[in-house]
Homo-oligomer: A and B are copies of this chain.
Amino acid sequence: MTAEEQPASQRQRTDPYVGQYAERAVGMVASEIRALFAVAARPEIVSLAGGSPYVAALPLDGVGDMIGQLIADRGEVALQYCTAQGDAGLRERICDVMTLEEIRAHPDEIVVTVGSQQALDLLTRIFIDPGDVILAEAPSYVGALGAFASYQATVVHVAMDEDGLIPEALEEAIGRTTAAGRRAKFLYTVPNFHNPAGVTLAAGRRHRILGICQRAGLLVVEDNPYGLLGFDAEPMRALRADDGEGVVYLGTFSKTFAAGVRVGWAVAPAAIRDKLILAAESAVLCHSSFSQLTVREYLTAQPWLEQVKDFRELYRERRDATLNALETMMPPGCHWTRPGGGFYVWLRLPDGVNAKAMLPRAISSRVAYVPGTGFYADGSGGQYARLCYSLPSPDRIREGIRRLASVIETEIELRDDFGPAPGIR
């Protein structure tokens, strides 16, 4: 048997560094669905898996001109190192952006990060010893769970409904954690147009959630990539707007401008901000001046808010195409959320149908999604699928959902003939 013929689990034994890795890295192995996603990138497949913004809607010629001029005029700064906290001019612009969600922040309170993902990584780095508890919605953003796992956190999920995080469930989870002799280090929440659940924390719940966390001395990490991408109303007031000392707010330009520049930020109380800066310096020395000055220039010289409105209209049309197609085509037993903004619909499959087991068959039928299991730290979520509508055109979305509906129908037949799919974890 050659190496290629061996199953991956046996090939792994030939790694000469086995036994030398850190404890946190022992479980770092590529997920079994990763290989499928490489296939899902093929053009014949309708991918509802991604999570990528539709950057083709940007005025690329104009943005190109702007950047070319920036390098010609200020290349000495844009191509040089900067401070670990990030460009001061960009941090001023970020303060302006946050006023749309009623946050009054000072540029000193901001740390620029390599996307929000780096902010999640650095926060976990400074707060989490192995086994420490993080409270997070059920389901939660897969990238956050990945960062939490890489520092060996224990994630305790808190239930949501169509109005977002349930206050009573949060109180209960805090109580349960305390009763177990442990202390949660922070609550991680995506209050607006949740990834993957597509729901938004109701205005009436926001003060209650903050009050519960304040009483418990629990830091809130408010991750808000989609807040400006609401289809039906003005942006919600951020949690951070009502508690400057108890909330770390995370923002990003990945969805309002361009994911490829990797510019996000954290707004944090002074002591946490200081540690974030030191952790960022240790992680990457400093963020890219090139990206930061590009975003700063974009916010200063381009009609960025008009562009956000264009994105909103574009995504609204795709959301509508998604919901209409689901309504028309999905077989009985399917349920889904109706997002008021953002990128995602959270689809519950009929009882006995498992999204992970179904994925290879969906890809054979030329449609892809993300199985729900990735959004839970405890292996649950097998009955769910995340559908992302931001990238394909409305026609492609309809075609993708037509294919998906057909795959689910076949699964239902299989279930009825052979019994429910085993709970694959």
Q: Which residues of chain A have a CB within 8 Å of any CB of chain B?
A: 12, 15-18, 20-25, 28-30, 51-53, 55-56, 58, 60-61, 63-65, 67-72, 75-82, 114-115, 117-118, 121, 125-129, 132, 143, 146-147, 149-151, 183, 185, 219, 245, 254, 257-262, 269-272, 274-275, 277-279, 281-291, 294
Q: Does A58 lie within 8 Å of B81, measured CB to CB?
A: no
Q: Does B28 lie within 8 Å of A275, measured CB to CB?
A: yes
Q: Find chain B residues with CB under 8 A from A16 CB.
A: 245, 269, 271
Determine the distance from Cα of A269 to Cα of B16 in the docked complex, in whole angstroms.
Answer: 9
Additional 6 contacts, C-beta under 8 A, given A20-B127, A20-B183, A64-B69: A63-B79, A64-B72, A65-B68, A114-B287, A262-B286, A291-B291
Q: Does B22 lie within 8 Å of A118, measured CB to CB?
A: no
Q: Does A71 lie within 8 Å of B81, measured CB to CB?
A: no
Q: Find chain B residues with CB under 8 A from A151 CB.
A: 22
Q: Does B72 lie within 8 Å of A147, measured CB to CB?
A: no
Determine the distance from Cα of A291 to Cα of B128 in the docked complex, in whole angstroms.
Answer: 31
Q: Find chain B residues with CB under 8 A from A286 CB.
A: 262
Q: Does B126 lie within 8 Å of A25, measured CB to CB?
A: yes
Q: Does A288 lie within 8 Å of B291, measured CB to CB?
A: yes
Q: Find chain B residues with CB under 8 A from A118 CB.
A: 283-284
Q: Find chain B residues with CB under 8 A from A143 CB.
A: 282, 285
Determine the distance from Cα of A65 to Cα of B67 in the docked complex, in whole angstroms.
Answer: 9
Q: Does B64 lie within 8 Å of A60, measured CB to CB?
A: no
Partner of A127 from B25, B78, B288 at Cβ < 8 Å: B25
Closest Cβ–Cβ distance, residue A292 to chain B (whole Å): 9
Q: Does B127 lie within 8 Å of A275, measured CB to CB?
A: no
Q: Find chain B residues with CB under 8 A from A20 CB.
A: 127, 183, 185, 219
Q: Does A290 lie within 8 Å of B272, measured CB to CB?
A: no
Determine the distance from Cα of A58 to Cα of B78 in the docked complex, in whole angstroms.
Answer: 12
Which residue of chain B has the shortest Cβ distance to A153 in the bound complex?
B22
Q: Does A22 lie within 8 Å of B126, measured CB to CB?
A: yes
Closest Cβ–Cβ distance, residue A62 to chain B (whole Å): 9
Determine the distance from Cα of A229 to Cα of B275 in the docked complex, in whole angstroms.
Answer: 35
Q: Does A260 lie within 8 Å of B79, measured CB to CB?
A: yes
Q: Does B115 lie within 8 Å of A284, measured CB to CB?
A: yes
Across the A-B interface, the 9 shortest Cβ-Cβ residue pairs: A68-B68, A64-B71, A79-B258, A15-B271, A60-B75, A260-B289, A64-B72, A25-B126, A79-B260
Q: Does A25 lie within 8 Å of B275, measured CB to CB?
A: yes
Interface centre among A65, A118, A126, A294 (most CB of B within 10 A): A126
Partner of A52 from B80, B245, B259 at Cβ < 8 Å: B80
Q: Find chain B residues with CB under 8 A from A290 CB.
A: 258, 260-262, 290-291, 294
Q: Find chain B residues with CB under 8 A from A274 CB.
A: 29-30
Determine the distance from Cα of A272 to Cα of B117 in the docked complex, in whole angstroms.
Answer: 22
Closest Cβ–Cβ distance, residue A225 to chain B (whole Å): 11
Whether A121 contacts B282 in the complex (CB less than 8 A), given A52-B80, A75-B58, A259-B79, comes out as yes
Which residue of chain B has the shortest Cβ distance to A132 in the bound complex?
B22
Q: Find chain B residues with CB under 8 A from A65 CB.
A: 68, 72
Closest Cβ–Cβ distance, residue A283 to chain B (whole Å): 5
Which residue of chain B has the shortest Cβ distance to A218 in the bound complex?
B20
Q: Find chain B residues with CB under 8 A from A283 CB.
A: 114, 117-118, 121, 147, 150, 283
Q: Find chain B residues with CB under 8 A from A25 CB.
A: 125-127, 275, 279
Interface centre among A128, A147, A284 (most CB of B within 10 A): A284
